[in-house]
Amino acid sequence: MLSDSQNDVDRVYAEGRWEALCANVALYPHVVGIENFDRHAESLRDVEVAFSTWGMPELVDAHLDRMPSLRALFYAAGSVQSFARPFLARDIAVVSAWAANAVPVAEFTLGQVLLACKGYFRNERACRDAELRHAGTAFKGAGVFGETVGLIGVGMIGRTLCRLLESFNLKVIGHDPYLEPAVAEALGIEWVDLPDVFSRAYVVSNHLPNIPSTRGLLDGSLFARMRSDATFINTGRGAQVVERDLIAVLAERPDLTALLDVTWPEPPEKESPLYALPNVSLSAHIAGSINDEVVRMADYVLEEYGRWERGEDLLYAVSPDMLETMA
């Protein structure tokens, strides 16, 4: 097991997953990280497969030279950007459980989409005013039936969300420069330009990967186009939003709502207007795998290891080309 965090290993490979792993592989009986790598290096020479999770050490060529038999790394977490390239350069397979992490994000977003269509977030704010509540004038949204949801980024999370949205009578539009037309058609998405997502959708949800080309992409010109009473959801990354622009638009337009599970920086600085704006709802980056949900990532890598051992095609292997567009 490769990790700098014994705690994360214990959390992710919990509830029988560690025992299942040990039953399927002759597991080296130590968790190896940067600090103790040299002490264990000689024993790692014959290791063919490594498992990991959050806390994966950023191994360089000098480390991998001492693991000449390594053929595959199974990572029970999401992004592999910080460590994958040296492995891939040596044709060592890198498998990520990013698809497992997409599930709770999509579920979280689904809940917010449905509540936003009902106008729940503005309604809840209005219902704190007894006069509005008794007058029956608290805001009500458009409703779910027939409304338009706009997705920015249709990678693993966006696609998982699309499948969840199939159960509802909603029109889904989306923008993703890497989304192939055939895939969009299969998912039931109408591909549109980015400004059209903001001007047409009642709920706009960001799922862009955090890569250089997406940073600062969502600016004031887009937020100003949003429909009356629309909602912006961000479970992607805060760096994709020009935050001062978003704050300015929200201050001018109290009809809009922003549901921000991520910000930049994270958490917002103590003096940030995001804390005070009544039409902003902040959460502490909880959309991804947390607590009971993290063991799902171990399940995915255990299943992938089984495919690898049987010589079957891997579902979640990462390639060098994928690193250019994935989070």
Please report the pLDDT score of residue 324 as a whole number.
86
User: Residue 96's domain spans which residues?
Assistant: 6-100+292-324
Q: How many CB atoms lie within 10 A of CB 14?
A: 13
Name the strand (E) or helix (H) holding 243. helix 243-252
Name the strand (E) or helix (H) holding 206. strand 203-206
The answer to whether position 1 is within a domain reads: no
Quick check: 34 pLDDT over 90? yes
Total residue count of the chain as it appears in this document: 327
What's the structural domain count of the chain? 2
Kindly state whether residues 134 and 87 are assigned to the same domain: no
Kindly state whether residues 48 and 119 are assigned to the same domain: no
**β-pair partners for 269:** none
Kindly state whether residues 302 and 244 are assigned to the same domain: no
Kindly state whether residues 109 and 172 are assigned to the same domain: yes
Burial profile 224-243: b = 16 or more Cβ within 10 angstroms, e = fewer: ebbbebbbbbbbbbbbbbbb
**What does the pLDDT look like over 154-181, one tens digit per residue?**
999 999 999 999 999 999 999 998 888 8
The mean pLDDT value for 36-42 works out to 97
Residue 45: C-alpha distances to residues 61, 76, 130, 305 (Å): 14, 23, 70, 20
Kindly state whether residues 196 and 274 are assigned to the same domain: yes
Kindly state whether residues 28 and 147 are assigned to the same domain: no
Name the strand (E) or helix (H) holding 103. helix 98-117
Kindly state whether residues 308 and 201 are assigned to the same domain: no
Kindly state whether residues 130 and 259 are assigned to the same domain: yes
End-to-end CA distance of the chain: 23
Quick check: 226 pLDDT over 80? yes
The answer to whether position 197 is within a domain reads: yes
* CATH number, position 78: 3.40.50.720
pTM of the predicted protein model: 0.93
The mean pLDDT value for 278-299 works out to 97
Kindly state whether residues 264 and 158 are assigned to the same domain: yes
Kindly state whether residues 225 and 83 are assigned to the same domain: no
The answer to whether position 287 is within a domain reads: no
Kindly state whether residues 111 and 94 are assigned to the same domain: no
Kindly state whether residues 194 and 151 are assigned to the same domain: yes
The mean pLDDT value for 175-204 works out to 94
**What does the pLDDT look like over 91-123, one tens digit per residue?**
999 999 999 999 999 999 999 999 999 999 999
Quick check: 327 pLDDT over 80? no
